[in-house]
Homo-oligomer: A and B are copies of this chain.
Amino acid sequence: MFTITELSNERINSIVTEALAFANGKSAKIEGEVFCSNLFFEDSTRTKTSFDIAERKLGLQVVPFDASNSSVNKGESLYDTVKTIESLGVNLVVIRDKKDRYFDELNDIKIPIINGGDGTGNHPSQCMLDLMTIYQEFGKFEGLKIGIVGDVKHSRVANSNAEALRRLGAKVYFSGPEQWFDEGALINGTYLSVDEMIKDVDVLMLLRIQHERHDAKMSFSASEYHRKYGLTKEREKAMKKEAIIMHPAPINRGVEIDDDLVECERSRVFKQMQNGVFARMAILKEALEKEGYTFK
C-alpha cells in the first residue's frame, strides 16, 4: 500500500472494519515463519514502533534494520538495498523515506511494500488510523464536518485525510495562516477562519507545526500561532458537545493546543496512537493475505 488515492472506498471500509475488530479484541497470528523489516530512512520512532508492535501481534518475526548504518548511506540505491533485504529472505517491508514517491523505483521488488510515509506526499497508515478513530466515534463518515488546522500543503497526513474523507462523504474545512494556503492546498476542502470553523465541526484535526520547515517564512512566534490559530481553552468551549480533537503527534504543547487540553475529555490524541497499532495490523494482514499467507 503506497497511497490513499489507490484505495477504493470499499477497501478503506474493509481495512477500517478489520482495524476496529482488532481494537475490540480480535487476534490473528500468521501461519508459518514469516519475516518482515522496517526500513526507516527518515526518523520516526512513533510510526516505526507502532508497526513493530503490530507486526509482533500478528506473529511476524521482525528483523532489525538500522538505516543509519546501511549501504544506502554509502551510495547504494534504494532499489539495491530493498532487493538485498528481499534476497535475504524477508517477506514484507515497511519503508519510510524522505523522497516523494520513493516507491516508483521499486516496481521490480516482489515482496509487499507498505508505505510508512514518503516525503510530504503520502502517509496512508496514519490516514487509516485517523479514519478508524473517526468511525469508532461516529459510526459513519457521510455528512461529518471535519476541520483541519495547520500547514495542509506540507502535511502528508492532511492531504491523505482530506482526500479520503471527502471521497467517503464528509465535508472538509481548512484553517491556519492564510499564506500557507493556495489553490493546491484547497482541492479537497474550503478555507474558514479558525473561529468560524471551530463551532461547527464534528472533528477538529490539528496539524503539527513543523518548526524545521517554517523557520524562514514563519512571521509569527509560537505563542502568536497559539493565540491566532491554536486550540485555546476559549475555543475549546465553543466546540460542539460531541466534537472530538485529533492530532498526529508529537504535539507542541501550548502551540497547536493548550497544554491542559491534550488529555481533555474530547481529545483522542493518545487514542489515535492506540488505534495506530490496530490500523497497521489490518493493513499488514491485508497485504499478506493478498500474497497467500493465512492467519489463525
Contact = CB atoms under 8 A, between A and B. Distances in A.
Contacts of A251: 76, 80
Interface in A83-101: 83-85, 87-90
Nearest to A108: B263
A83 B253 CA distance: 14
Interface in A48-88: 49-50, 52-53, 56-57, 61, 63-66, 69-71, 74-77, 80, 83-85, 87-88
Contacts of A238: none
A49 B55 CA distance: 18
Interface residues of A, number: 44
A74 B42 CA distance: 14
A293 interface: no
Contact of A33 (B45, B57, B76): B57
A8 interface: no
Interface stretch (A12-20, A145-153, A166-174, A271-279): A271-279
A161 B35 CA distance: 30
B61 A56 contact: yes
B253 A77 contact: yes
Contacts of A65: 45, 49
Contact of A53 (B52, B90, B250): B90
A88 B45 CA distance: 11
Interface string A262-296: 00000000110110110000000000000000000
A218 interface: no
Contacts of A90: 53
A29 to B, nearest CB: 10
A237 interface: no
A62 to B, nearest CB: 8
Interface string A104-139: 000000000000000000000000000000000000
A7 interface: no
A46 B84 contact: yes
A273 B53 contact: no
A129 B276 CA distance: 38
Given A61-B56, A64-B64, A250-B71, A274 B45 contact: no
A91 B70 CA distance: 27
A178 interface: no
A56 B52 contact: no
Closest 6 CB pairs of A and B: A87-B273, A43-B69, A45-B70, A87-B270, A71-B250, A76-B250
Given A53-B90, A88-B276, 5 more contacts: A43-B69, A45-B71, A49-B64, A52-B64, A56-B61
15 contacts: A35-B53, A37-B49, A43-B69, A45-B65, A49-B64, A53-B63, A53-B90, A57-B89, A64-B64, A84-B249, A84-B250, A84-B273, A87-B270, A87-B273, A89-B277
